[in-house]
């Protein structure tokens, strides 16, 4: 039996359009203006929490989930969809030796803000994929991110393969979009340590 809060959250989950091949083929490889515009940049931070475990296992795109209270700065000013920017996992006070030399550097990221309609989630989530191969998990570590732009709306999919294809395009779009000088400078933003 669902709690009242779960039912209320489910009632607010909007329907998402279904992704089509035409949409995928028409996607630009760079998005947004040459300089971030309001509401960007959006600063997020919080401890990484366990999500549904689907990103790495099912989609080949491991994600770091932020707690609900950490996503308020973006969920109150932006629509659901896929975003790009930079993220950094902060080193722990103990146990850092199990990580590689680049694991705590600022890295490009893509972020899904939404309900994940393919999986019929019952609550809004922010899932960040840092475009770096980590040697180990970092659950509970503090993560900071600067969200700089919007890539596309949240979509539903007819297959997991179609979702994976779009995720791969999202990564390319993010990397291409972040190469512009006014975006690159945020990799050294004071928000990061």
Which residues participate in catalysis according to the annotation?
127
Element (H, E) at 9: helix 4-11
Residue 54, C-beta contacts closer than 8 angstroms, at least 6 positions apart: 119
| Helical ranges in 12-125 per DSSP H | 21-25, 55-59, 72-75
DSSP string, 146-177: EEEEEEEE--B-SSHHHHHHHHHHHHHHHHHH
Element (H, E) at 84: strand 81-89
Task: Output the six-digit token pair for 176.
Answer: 């291409």
CA distance 171 to 137: 20
Element (H, E) at 6: helix 4-11
């Amino acid at each position: 039996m669902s709690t009242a809060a779960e039912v209320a959250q489910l009632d607010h989950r909007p329907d998402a359009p279904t992704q089509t091949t035409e949409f995928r083929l028409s996607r630009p490889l760079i998005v947004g203006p040459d300089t971030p515009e309001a509401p960007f940049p959006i600063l997020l931070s919080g401890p990484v929490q366990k999500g549904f475990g689907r990103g790495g296992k099912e989609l080949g795109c491991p994600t770091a989930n932020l707690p609900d209270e950490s996503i308020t700065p973006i969920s109150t000013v932006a629509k659901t969809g896929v975003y790009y920017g930079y993220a950094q996992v902060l080193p722990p006070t103990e146990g850092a030796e199990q990580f590689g030399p680049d694991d705590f550097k600022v890295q490009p990221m893509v972020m899904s803000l939404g309900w994940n309609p393919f999986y019929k989630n019952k609550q809004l989530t922010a899932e960040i994929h840092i475009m770096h191969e980590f040697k180990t998990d970092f659950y509970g570590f503090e993560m900071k991110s600067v969200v700089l732009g919007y890539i596309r709306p949240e979509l539903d999919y007819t297959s997991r393969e179609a979702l994976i294809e779009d995720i791969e395009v999202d990564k390319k779009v993010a990397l291409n979009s972040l190469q512009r000088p006014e975006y690159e400078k945020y990799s050294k933003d004071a928000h990061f340590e």
